Chains A and B, each alone.
Chain A
Amino acid sequence: MKLFKAIIVTTFVLLSSLSANTPLTGTQIIEKTYNRPSAVDQTAMLTMTLTNKNGQTRVRKIQQFSKDMGDKEKSIMFFVSPADVKNTSFMNWTYDSDKSDDQWIYLPALKKVKRISSDSKSDYFMGSDFTFDDLGGRKINSDIHTLLREEIVNEKECYVIESKSVNEDYMYSKTITWIDKNTFIGVKKEFFDEDEELLKILKIKKMEEISNLYIITHSEMINVQKDHSTTIILNNVNINTGISENKFTERMMTRGI
């Protein structure tokens, strides 16, 4: 029995050292990024500021709630401002499987919750520089990931990963992501258009440790072709407060915050 235990321990140590010395592939790095510890549930007030090339700004405020339920993640957003979209709510259920997202919108003027097609993930969100995919709705296997190189960005050692969509009609020909080697958190991302020209740059401006988790609280997306940018700032972030599953229902969409 002792011999059996010794073999197991030796094998485990050998395998561990082997995996530590084996370079990670692009897909493995992206998987580690996706699978790093994250909140079971999160609430935050999101302030999105759109700035055009003349320096004019438009501000959107959204109260958001999200909860990881194992095989699916549910999120709900309540639009606080501007006035013409106030009390509108949007709910999204994302699945770990290949199943498409389920999405609903509640328009207070129509007093009705409507199921909407989730087939528009390339659409820009509320006139911002972020598409629904950019905001985290893209699945790992939607792209082929290749490790290009390693380099230092903002004094952090980073993996540089190129991701190309398996779907040739996708709006980006490729994206390049810089991922911190220590934390497996993306620190910068570049998006290339269908002609392989640089379209947008996503920069992480601030990260905070909240409830022992690293949360990106300030990010900026710059559209270099249109000279337009969008900043997203998260305030009042609360992690793992035990949001009820009942938060993600028609009842809450219509009731509001």
Chain B
Amino acid sequence: MKFTSMKIKVTILLVILLFSQFAIAQGIDISGFGRTYEGVNVKNGDFSIVQQTLNLNFEKRGNNVAIKANPIAYLNNQDSLSVDLREIYMDMYFKNFDLRLGKQQIVWGKADGVFITDIVSPLNLSEFLLPDFDEIRRGIISAKLNYYIGNSTIEAIWIPQFAPTIRPDANSIWYIEPEFPVTPVFDWSQSGINPSLKNSEVFLKWSAMTSKLDFELMGGYTWDDNPSMHVQKQFTMNNSTIPPKPMLSGLNITPQHHRLAVAGGSFGAEILGVVLRGEGAYYNGKYFQTEDPSAVDALIQKDYLNYVVGLDFNIAGVVFSTQFIQKYILEHNDFISEDKFQNTATFVARYNTLRETLHLELFSYIGLSNNDALIRPKITYDFDDSFSLLIGANIFVGDRDGQFGQYQDNSIIYTKIKYSF
């Protein structure tokens, strides 16, 4: 929930702070953090981000019921305040099942930093993939039922109202303007999904944790979080050529979300001290952009596979984690704007020292198909158990056509100071 008026936002923030006083009196558990985050562009020295954050968790837990509210406020630069109620839900606990109702973040799968079966909660990509993962995911209003049988769980989710992935604003440094041969006209009138029973999303998962293997099997009937661009071309005759030829004179683009059926699974197992992880999903009926002149609205429907395999292991106290991710479009043809295969890797090395007060980490996304990468080194020092200083960098390198290389002008070094309570 975003509020546009500054006065309303400040009022809401004050109400939240006043509620905190009331909550303390009622024995509600309050935790959270305050954080200041400043980043400088390494190319031009401009401040790419100047952000102050207040994150509050209100929790009240009983034997059979619990409630949680998680408001978060971001102050960007001097006066751009956004307040979001990231989660607010109620839990009800029964003998063999739990029910959670309300706005909640739902995380599935065994992969890290990639979203293959983890597609229940939409994403906020307004700052690309840079925010912490709990801040990338959006809360979604839903009903979640977990039924337990021994070490296994059946989870059913009903989402009455679709929420899409948030993309960067047109004035954001993370917005990449698509190139068109002529200036397009966008018609956003069909980009929303009317909330109704018919337009609901449903997901089902069976998972188990055993001594040999952890696994999840999932299926979902959902909406594509990213809209498909229905393109209609207008032509006029170019009389300056002999003979006259049709010439592209206009583009009408109508973004629309379409239904997707998804089935997949994931697993994790330890073999000789190495944790092997895997995750994959089959997506049925995704619309891809095509240059096929016979295609309606420059779109073609194809199925695709997305999967990952990963290893986690320790060497001399350093924790390593590496993943290979492949997206494969079935029955691909050369008109489709995306490649048949798209290969990506991730690599993490993490080391804690000085009695777990100094944390060193290197995280990278590596675009194997486009020879580009996002490299994210960071050092965190805990002054005490509440107060930490982080110094890091987000370095984009490689081919400008790649999903990471396209942001190579946005590389930053940054610092985050965080107080947890």
State the A residues within 8 Å of B (CB): 50, 58-59, 72, 81-84, 86, 93, 95, 99-100, 102, 104, 109-120, 123-124, 126-128, 228, 246, 249-251, 255-256
| Also in contact, A82 and B312, with CB within 8 A (given A93-B211, A127-B356) | no
Segment among B165-173, B177-185, B235-243, B382-390 that sits at the interface with chain A = B382-390
* B107 interfacial contact with A, CB 8 Å: yes
Q: Closest chain A residue to B212 by CB distance?
A: A102
Q: Does B153 lie within 8 Å of A82, measured CB to CB? A: no
* Inter-chain CB contacts under 8 Å: number: 96
Proximity string of chain B (74-111) to chain A, C-beta cutoff 8 Å, 1 when within and 0 when not: 00000000000000000101000010000001110110
Contact of B388 among A84, A128, A250 (CB under 8 A): A84
Segment among B14-22, B268-276, B397-405 that sits at the interface with chain A = B268-276
State the B residues within 8 Å of A (CB): 31, 33, 61, 91, 93, 98, 105-107, 109-110, 132-134, 146, 148, 151, 153, 207, 209, 211, 214, 268-270, 272-275, 312-314, 317, 355-357, 382, 384-386, 388, 420-421
Q: Does A100 lie within 8 Å of B107, measured CB to CB? A: no
Bound state CA distance, A102 and B31, in angstroms?
A: 31
Bound state CA distance, A168 and B260, in angstroms?
A: 56
In the assembled complex, which residues on chain B have CB atoms less than 8 Å from the CB atom of A84? 33, 382, 385-386, 388, 420
A-B contact list, 6 entries, CB within 8 Å: A84-B385, A104-B209, A115-B214, A119-B272, A124-B356, A255-B91
Bound state CA distance, A117 and B61, in angstroms?
A: 32
In the assembled complex, which residues on chain A have CB atoms less than 8 Å from the CB atom of B109? 112
Q: Closest chain B residue to A95 by CB distance?
A: B211
Bound state CA distance, A133 and B357, in angstroms?
A: 21
Q: Closest chain A residue to B314 by CB distance?
A: A120
Q: Does B356 lie within 8 Å of A118, measured CB to CB? A: no
In the assembled complex, which residues on chain A have CB atoms less than 8 Å from the CB atom of B384? 58
In the assembled complex, which residues on chain A have CB atoms less than 8 Å from the CB atom of B146? 251
In the assembled complex, which residues on chain A have CB atoms less than 8 Å from the CB atom of B110? 114
Q: Does B270 lie within 8 Å of A109, measured CB to CB? A: no
Q: Closest chain A residue to B386 by CB distance?
A: A83
Q: Closest chain A residue to B210 by CB distance?
A: A102
Q: Does B107 lie within 8 Å of A110, measured CB to CB? A: yes
Contact of B385 among A81, A102, A120, A246 (CB under 8 A): A81
Contact of A58 among B209, B211, B385 (CB under 8 A): B385
Q: Does A102 lie within 8 Å of B270, measured CB to CB? A: yes
Q: Closest chain B residue to A113 by CB distance?
A: B209
In the assembled complex, which residues on chain A have CB atoms less than 8 Å from the CB atom of B386? 82-84
In the assembled complex, which residues on chain B have CB atoms less than 8 Å from the CB atom of A83? 31, 33, 385-386, 420-421
Bound state CA distance, A95 and B270, in angstroms?
A: 15
In the assembled complex, which residues on chain A have CB atoms less than 8 Å from the CB atom of B385? 58-59, 81-84
Q: Closest chain B residue to A56 by CB distance?
A: B384
Q: Does A127 lie within 8 Å of B357, measured CB to CB? A: yes
Contact of B268 among A95, A114, A123, A249 (CB under 8 A): A114
Q: In the complex, which of the residues B110, B270, B317 has the most CB atoms of chain A within 10 Å of its own CB atom? A: B270
CB distance from B118 to the nearest CB of A (A): 9
Q: Does A102 lie within 8 Å of B211, measured CB to CB? A: yes
Q: Does A115 lie within 8 Å of B268, measured CB to CB? A: yes
Contact of A246 among B107, B148, B421 (CB under 8 A): B148
Contact of A111 among B107, B153, B314 (CB under 8 A): B107
| Also in contact, A251 and B211, with CB within 8 A (given A110-B107, A111-B107, A117-B274) | no
Bound state CA distance, A109 and B209, in angstroms?
A: 20
Q: Does B151 lie within 8 Å of A249, measured CB to CB? A: yes
In the assembled complex, which residues on chain A have CB atoms less than 8 Å from the CB atom of B211? 72, 93, 95, 99, 102
Q: Does A100 lie within 8 Å of B273, measured CB to CB? A: yes
